[in-house]
Amino acid sequence: MVCMGGLRRERIFACLIGVGVMQPCPWVRMKGRDVPAVPDRKVKTMEPDSAVEDERFRFDPVNEDDDFNLVALVEHTGRATVLARERELRQYKFTSRTAATLLVVWAMDNNATPTDISRWLLREPHSVTGMLDRMERDGYIHRYQDRQRKNVVRVAMTEKGREAYFNSIRRESYHEMATCINDDERKELRRILTKLWRAALSQLGGDGSWTRMATTHLASPQAQTESAEPPSREELSPPQAGPTK
């Protein structure tokens, strides 16, 4: 694999797989309500680096393919973090996909389009449509027609969606996982994963505009949002009619 250097990447990825007991998160006031503050990070004492570096995580025990084993380690780390996140959100009765979608809608000021959500979450448009159908049916969002562009559908939160969004940003599981790396390792991990992420996107080629434009969420959400008047408070209530198709 040419995109990654010979760094302590196995140790960093491996420590993120281990999820400890979630601790209560301190609270601050924001916009008239309680929202969680990111706790001070205290790095946990891990086993010596050399012990972890000497251990190769072999997800293919038959073939000598370190590229596969390394990428598989990233995939398993991601899967483990998703499972921990799902466990955390279980108390609120919604999933990490719902939480991620609500984040996009909030960041884009209730003007997100299904295409925006597809690009931001790096998911196929048809899967996003199905997810929005379920979220609208469950009362988290509603879809409305853009006032300037009648062929554009946008997504807004309901009051239930706002409540779910504020519950979703507690993120104790993520904060707990991040305590196993120090500041230098955090920078190193971000640099490596960004490099690998861009290399993976380049492999997708012309699979669709939703992949070619996947990095647009790194820009300011306001700069991405096409001109559209945000919905009024009344429009944030679920419509009486069925979901927009």
The pLDDT value given to residue 57? 72
Identify the weakest region by mean pLDDT among 2-16, 118-132, 156-170. Answer: 2-16
Q: Could you report the per-residue pLDDT of 20-71, keeping only the tens digit for each? A: 333 333 333 444 455 566 666 666 655 555 445 545 678 888 888 999 999 9
DSSP 188: H
Please indicate whether residue 159 or residue 242 has the higher confidence score (pLDDT). Answer: 159
Cβ–Cβ < 8 Å for 84, 173: yes
Placement of tokens 């159908």 in the chain? 133
The pLDDT value given to residue 16? 53
Q: What is this structure's pTM?
A: 0.69
Q: CA-CA-CA-CA torsion for 127, 107, 219, 224, nearest 10 degrees? A: 80
Rounded Cα distance, 68 and 54, in Å? 18
Instruction: Tell me the mean pLDDT in the region 4-14.
Output: 51
Helix (H, G, I), strand (E, B) or coil at 181: coil
The pLDDT value given to residue 223? 42
Query: What are the structural domains, with CATH classification, of the chain?
Result: 9-236 (1.10.10.10)
